[in-house]
Amino acid sequence: MLSLLQGVSEATILPRFRNLEASDIADKGKNELVTIADRESEVMLAEGLEKIVPGLAVVGEEASDKDPSVLDGLNKHCWIIDPIDGTGNFASGNPPFGILIALADAGKTQSAWIYDPLTQRFCTAHSGEGAFVNGERVTARTTGMTLPVAGISTLFMEDGLRDKIMQHIAPHYTLADIPRCAAEQYPRLALGINDVTIFQRTLPWDHAAGALWLNEAGGKVARNDGAQYRVDEWDRPGLIGAASPVLWNELAERMAKLGE
């Protein structure tokens, strides 16, 4: 898998970083951009994954944007691809951005790969086997801050929920900048950079890989009510990630009170 991700990065992602023409960037709407590098890398990744395990459904972000029926593959044994997570950053010539790949079956993620083309950080996990960074097993650790460090993404929240979170949740945490890149946000939760995060939108290409990886590292990712994240429930809003189950529970309790 690493050779595939490195090859795609070197062939089409890195050569276009800070080298995009205006015509290479398009607006998909809803605060979403796509670049020529997204489209080309998704095709290359899909071709490479077919060679690794032939015959599986492939659910790619860009393919499903063009043809929503592609999402039907989430009910099967499938690959899930985000060819460039953090496209807004990439299109602006800024890090972070990364590649997210997940292997799922019957709605549950089995394996995860997260690759940062700039730093070559390679996060991997297989269900029940732990989480790794560049081949070294990792255990999620907290920042140790008195006020835990929170990355709270309010971008896709309705105004009412956003206001409640900033009024009732934010004061309990030290707020950190949002990387707008799940391929960066999930590693931050295990590597002592952030303690907790809140996601509203839970698309499979953004969260399938990261959720498994952080859970395997000993952190916790789950729906606000504690339910497991499933790739076939991608249209269900709300997801909490934390560097430890204790921190997850504290934030989930505060979130639950917002509805009282």
pLDDT at 87: 97
Q: Are strands 239-242 and 196-199 parallel, antiparallel or unpaired?
A: antiparallel
The DSSP 8-state label assigned to residue 12 in this structure reads: I
pTM for the whole thing?
0.96
pLDDT at 34: 96
82 labeled binding residue: yes
pLDDT at 252: 97
Domains assigned to the chain: 2-138 (3.30.540.10), 149-257 (3.40.190.80)
* List of the chain residues with pLDDT < 50: none
CB distance 154 to 165 below 8 Å: yes
Which among 185, 241, 183 has a CA at the least distance from the CA of 5?
183
27 labeled binding residue: no
CB distance 231 to 104 below 8 Å: yes
CB distance 212 to 127 below 8 Å: yes
pLDDT at 176: 95
Residue 208: both structure tokens together = 């399938």
CB distance 62 to 42 below 8 Å: yes
24 labeled binding residue: no
In 168-232, DSSP assigns E strands to: 174-175, 196-199, 220-222
Using DSSP's 3-state secondary structure scheme, residue 253 falls into helix
